[in-house]
Amino acid sequence: MTLFDPIISGIVFGLILSVMVGPLFFTLIQTSLQEGFKAGSHFALGAMLSDATYIMLGYFFASKLNLTGDSKTIFGICGGILLVLFGVYQYFKKVKLAEMDKKEKAIHARYTLQGFVLNAANPAVLLFWLSVLGQVKLKVRYETIHEVLFFSCCLISVFSSDLLKAYGAHKIKKILKPIVLTWINRIAGLILFGYGFWMIGKAIGWWAVQS
């Protein structure tokens, strides 16, 4: 087994992940539009660090993680509440064009923290990486170095794609009017709120009862 296979597999898998649209995607675009490329890049960095943390947790503590029963319910409810709160904040957040390009505003670590928390709040992210880890472990020819290369290339690929999204959003913001940016805020907020509410309902069992 050469090192070439896990590198290519990780890059391809990362590119596939990068085209998936979810709450994180909309918040990344909204942050880059309103706050600038640096803020968007910090947000993307936070999301990548969150993914890396989940991968390491899954790799070293998979046998000890209890994601069933009451633990899964509590995790789902807490994550859902966080997403709902993020959604409310985004919906009512005002667009201030005068602050959009200030360097001291764009480089705050709070965007990294926001990306980390928003990504980590979604239990599906942990479950997803655990499932990927399980598939990688099934590759009998993969040794530790191959697994490290696969996940490293995957994360770098996703992060690079997020940087391109943030840069593109930053460029087109110059042609957007404040009212458009305001509605982008509201749409992103509604998506986060709806996803969080759905997550809470799924954890409690509302949707299972209705079906």
Phi first, then psi: give them for residue 141, nearest 5 degrees: -90, -5
Instruction: Please name the residues in contact with 73: beta carbons below 8 A apart, sequence gap of 6 or more.
Output: 203, 204
Average pLDDT over residues 94-104: 52
Q: Which of 26-30, 80-84, 94-98 is predicted with the least confidence, judged by mean pLDDT?
A: 94-98
User: DSSP state, 94?
Assistant: P
Residue 61 forms part of a structural domain: yes
pLDDT at 81 over 50: yes
| Contact by Cβ (8 Å): 167, 25 | no
42 vs 11, 63, 162, CA distance in Å?
21, 32, 10
Domain of 116, in residue numbers = 4-205
pLDDT of residue 128: 74
Q: How many CB atoms lie within 10 A of CB 131?
A: 11
Q: How many folded domains does the chain comprise?
A: 1
H-helix or E-strand containing 60? helix 37-61
Residue 210 lies in a domain: no
Cα separation, 157 vs 159, in Å, equals: 5
Instruction: Report helix, strand or coil for 39.
Output: helix
Rounded Cα–Cα distance for residues 39 and 198 (Å): 28
Q: What is the dihedral of CA 202, 205, 209, 211, to 10 degrees?
A: 20
pLDDT at 99 over 50: no
Which tens digits make up the pLDDT trace of 145-203?
888 888 899 999 999 999 998 888 878 776 666 677 677 677 777 877 887 787 778 76
In this prediction the pTM is 0.69
Give the Cα separation of 5 and 143 in Å (integer): 12
Q: Is residue 211 part of a domain?
A: no
Cα 170 to Cα 6, 89, 104, 166: the distances in Å are 33, 21, 17, 6
